[in-house]
Amino acid sequence: MMFYTLVRKDLLLEFRAKEIIIPMFAFGLAIIMIFALSFNASQAINHAFSPGLLWIIILFISSLGLNRMFVLEKEFDAFTLTLAAPVDRGIIFLSKAISGTILLLIAEILIIPPFIIFMNLTIPSDWHIMVLILLIGDLGIMSIGAIVSGLSMRAKLSEMLLPILFFPLVSPHIIACVKSTNYWFKGLSFINWQFWIFLMISFVLVFFLLGFMIFEYITEE
């Protein structure tokens, strides 16, 4: 119930202020352009590189979005409203991770069509598997992302500290995301790469559980 209230508030904030998704989309487009121009690539190279490139873009825009999400809580000291209310810190963590995932998914829906067009990709017919990979991938990114943003939000250099902490911690998950995307893109059957999906799921479980338990120590000044 409280969880629903908090997620609804995060989405309403984005709906009113429009400070998260649009910058994420614009930044993502810029990265695609830079990559396309600097590699001046043939279609074969694009095909080989695109799974990795896709997740680099997602990682960059998610760190942008996470930073913005937590800065919004700092303005006007608005976070105190939630902190002083009778809401468990674990619920605050879950709401941040889930609303972050929702915002990231929306940004991905915007960024993937131009990505496919600019990179001249042909998409396998079983695209719904990719949706599943994106969903699990985003959950993992946002679970550790919410923990790390909580740690860095009050720091002096929060926008710099966030990626420095975030990228190495999330790297095993990104490896798994890239691997599964790659195998899916090459059209290998699921049996061959189920390991990576399991690795992603265990990452999601570990850090959702850990964040839920540990957020108590992060939120307070």
In the complex, the residues that contact another protein under the rule CB under 8 A are 2, 5-6, 9, 12-13, 16-17, 19, 72, 75-78, 80-89, 91, 144, 147, 151-152, 154-157, 161, 164-165, 167-169, 171-173, 175-176, 179, 195, 199, 202-203, 206-207, 210, 214, 217-218, 220-221
CB 205 to another protein: min, Å? 11
Residue (of 122, 116, 111) closest to 61 by Cα position: 111
Nearer to another protein, 37 or 157 (CB): 157
Q: Which two tokens stand for residue 195?
A: 């390991």
Nearer to another protein, 32 or 94 (CB): 94
User: Contact 138/107 with Cβ under 8 angstroms?
Assistant: no
Nearer to another protein, 115 or 163 (CB): 163
CB 3 to another protein: min, Å? 11
Nearer to another protein, 19 or 121 (CB): 19
Buried b (16+ CB within 10 A) or exposed e, 14-24: beeeeebbeeb
Q: Which two tokens stand for residue 153?
A: 């939000």
CA–CA distance, 218 with 208 (Å, rounded to integer) = 14
In 62-219 the beta strands, taken as DSSP E runs, fall at none
